[in-house]
Amino acid sequence: MPTVIRKTRETLMEVRRGILHAVSWQVRSSVWDPPTDVYEIEGAYIVRMEIAGMREEDFDVSLQKDSLYIAGFRPDLPSIRAYYQMEIRSGKFATVVELPGPVDDDQATAEYRDGFLTITLPKQPPK
């Protein structure tokens, strides 16, 4: 099972990306983002990413403040091909999900099964 890591400091890359987005510049890179659903059930928020062809240890999942960061690398076949249609992305991917509310990050879990990464983030109980 992938481990959900709580981060307390932003990395230099995240700080730079945030600055660029703040001034409305578009960052072009080869990093792509898989289709991701975010929904709420009683007691938790669920983040579900469709990303076939991976292993649990290929994901980097972390929580920072009110955002969930998911990154990884999906390998491609190591042969030269002439494509007629190319829709399946490979290489480095990353996505950021803004959480709808506070979560209990110590109880967060992640599971990869049947091509879907599902992260369960229990809601933080009211104070």
Residue 81 placed within a domain: no
Residue 42 placed within a domain: yes
Section 83-96 average pLDDT: 89
Q: At 106, give phi and psi (nearest 5°).
A: -70, -20
- Residue length of the chain: 127
Residue 38 placed within a domain: yes
Residue 127 placed within a domain: no
Predicted confidence at residue 75, as pLDDT, reads 86
Count of structural domains, the chain: 1
Q: CATH no. for residue 53?
A: 2.60.40.790
Residue 8 placed within a domain: yes
Take residue 20 and report the two structure tokens written for it: 């660029």
Q: What residue type is assigned to position 26 of the chain?
A: Q
Predicted confidence at residue 25, as pLDDT, reads 47
Cα–Cα dist 97/116, whole Å: 16
Residue 80 placed within a domain: no
110 to each of 2, 34, 119, how far by Cα in Å?
6, 16, 4
pLDDT class for 24, splitting at 50, 70, 90? Answer: very low
121, 99 in Cβ contact below 8 A?
Answer: yes
* 18 secondary structure, DSSP code: H
Lowest mean pLDDT among 56-60, 86-90, 95-99: 86-90
120, 109 in Cβ contact below 8 A?
Answer: yes
Say yes or no to pLDDT of 18 above 70.
no
pLDDT class for 5, splitting at 50, 70, 90? Answer: low
- Please tell me which residue, 7 or 124, carries the higher pLDDT value: 124
80, 10 in Cβ contact below 8 A?
Answer: no
User: In which domain, by residue range, is 110 found?
Assistant: 4-75+86-122
Predicted confidence at residue 37, as pLDDT, reads 96
